[in-house]
Structure 1
Amino acid sequence: MNSKYRLNYFNAKGSGEVIRWIFAYAGVEYEDNRLDPVTEWPAVKHRAPYGKLPFLEVDGKVLGESYAIQRFLAKRFGLAGSSAWEEAEVDALADYIAEVKRKQPNWVAAAVFVQEDELGKGPANHASREDSLREDYLRESVSVLKRLENMLQNNSKKFYFVGEKPSWADFVVTRFLDGLLQFDQAVLNRYPLLSAHRQHIRNLHGINHWLQKRPDTVY
């Protein structure tokens, strides 16, 4: 009997997007339930295990935390590595990217800029703060990009970070790179393997179709 999946998240890419990529690549149907943060989310918040989105419903059970959901689905759909060691390497890479993202600012900071403007600090302050944020973000990312480029160089296949087939960590890295490119479209120019890897993952069957049909959202 096939399981029924329902992903609950906002109408955004954010922490729900890698989950959607896993479903897309695996060719598994699911309900992509996009909640309005004002009119819908408050009414279902009590159902979220940790009081936040995303959360996944599977055959009457509920699972919270985006990385836990990704790991669960990756194991079900063959995206977690081909051995216990590969699975550990995949987890390590995904956890590394999560740590990097926690240390760096992201597009959520835009809400702070808007709020500052509304308080009367003006668009000039907005622009200077945003430029500073972008520069810090890209500068701190250089060491991360070098490390990722070297990891691909050390994999003889060079298409994937671990083993000879895609893993959910490849999706996590690609989404991270997508975020950097929103700040600077030239950020990958010095990293040919990373740039090729990103394009390869985005062109995988299922994911390429999802990218063409997904809702157009800012974040």
Structure 2
Amino acid sequence: MVHTFHPYFDPAQAAAFNEIAIEKDSTFEFRYFPLHGYGAATRVILAASGAKFSNVVPTDWAAEKPHTPFGVMPLLREISADGKTTINIAESDAIERYLAEKFGMAGDNAFERTVVNSYVNNSNDLMHHIYMKFFTVKDPALKAEAKEQLLNGPIAVWIKYNEQHLAANGSNGHYIGDKITIADIKAAHMVEVIRGVKEDAITDESAPALLKVKTTIDSIPSVKAWRATDEFKTFSERNLRTFGFA
């Protein structure tokens, strides 16, 4: 039996991949379901960077699924400005970190990158926990139980430690100095996710520094423009029907 690399991971594309990775004028196709979910942060990174991107919703996911690296989305395609080079990236975390590095949102040195990655991982862990333990639960009694456990456990812990760091940084809406990083974008999304569990779980009184992060990200002109599009509003409506929050 002959084993071959999946096209996304074929080392033969390494040179082209590394070349396009430093370009800033590429266009992007982001393939995901028509909701926010695990695609929210990627879309905000693309919007915040001013990148040209389009959202691609599969018309026949069952047929496409076997051809993807892991049978899941999201997936990102990047096309060079001259249209001659195309690369593909799988998995939300890999996509987000790749884009953060490309657009200067990953931290400027080893220390900053480590801090950013630590808080990104912390947000990712909580997000996965909430989706698996709460949003996908259908039984009302089990959902109510999970809600209390999350609010009094993982959510409270996440708020405590993130709020502490943000306050130490001056409650200026950023995790690192006064610059936008992927840690900010992930935290802003987590505020929305947590409010999907309980609307008043994060307030100006309980977590002012976290709310400052959200307002800072939402106030970026290109992000504000993205959130005002009909496409974004459609995704919000689908998110509300699927998970119970927009």
Which TM-score band (shorter chain)?
0.7 to 0.9
TM value normalised by structure 2:
0.76
| Other-structure match for 1:206 | 222
Other structure's SS at 1:80 match: coil
* Structure 2 letter corresponding to 1:18: A
Measured against aligned partners, the alpha-carbon deviations of 1:62-92 in whole angstroms (never above 9, x if no partner) come to 1111111011111111111122321221111
Contact 1:49 1:62 in 2 (8 A): no
Per-residue CA deviation, residues 161-185 of structure 1 (Å, 9 max, x unaligned), is 1122111111111111111101212
Question: Which one of 100, 112, 123 corresponds to residue 86 of structure 1?
Answer: 112
Q: Deviation of residue 133 (structure 1)?
A: 1.9
**Paired residues of 1:157 and 1:164 also in contact (CA < 8 A):** no
Q: Which residue of 2 aligns with 1:18?
A: 41
Deviation at 1:18, TM superposition (A): 0.5
> Which residue type is aligned with residue 71 of structure 1?
R
Aligned to 1:127, which of 132, 140, 162? 140
Cα RMSD for the two superposed structures: 2.0
Partner of residue 181, structure 2: 167
Contact 2:174/2:213 (<8 A) preserved: yes
1:4 aligns with 2:27: yes
Query: Which residue number corresponds to residue 195 of structure 1?
Result: 211
| 1:106 alignment partner AA | Y
Change (3 A) 1:85 1:160: same
CA contact (8 A) 2:106 2:182 kept: yes
Larger relative CO (CA 8 A, sep 6+): 1 or 2? Answer: 1
Count of aligned residue pairs for this structure pair: 203
SS across alignment from 2:228: helix
TM-fit CA distance, 1:156: 3.2
Q: Distance in 1 between matches of 2:89 and 2:116?
A: 21
Q: Greater CA deviation, 156-165 or 19-28? A: 156-165
Q: 1:98 to 1:204 in 2, by over 3 A?
A: same
Q: Does 1:105 align with 2:105?
A: no
Distance 1:149 1:105 in 2: 19
AA matched with 1:32: N
CA–CA distance in structure 2, aligned partners of residues 61 and 195 of structure 1: 36
Amino acid at match of 1:170: D
AA aligned to 2:200 is A
1:50 aligns with 2:70: yes
Q: Say which of 143, 150, 163 aligns to 2:157.
A: 143
Question: How much has 1:55 moved relative to structure 2?
Answer: 1.0
Q: Does 1:67 align with 2:67?
A: no
AA aligned opposite 1:43: A
Question: Structure 1: which 5+ residue stretches go unaligned?
Answer: 114-125
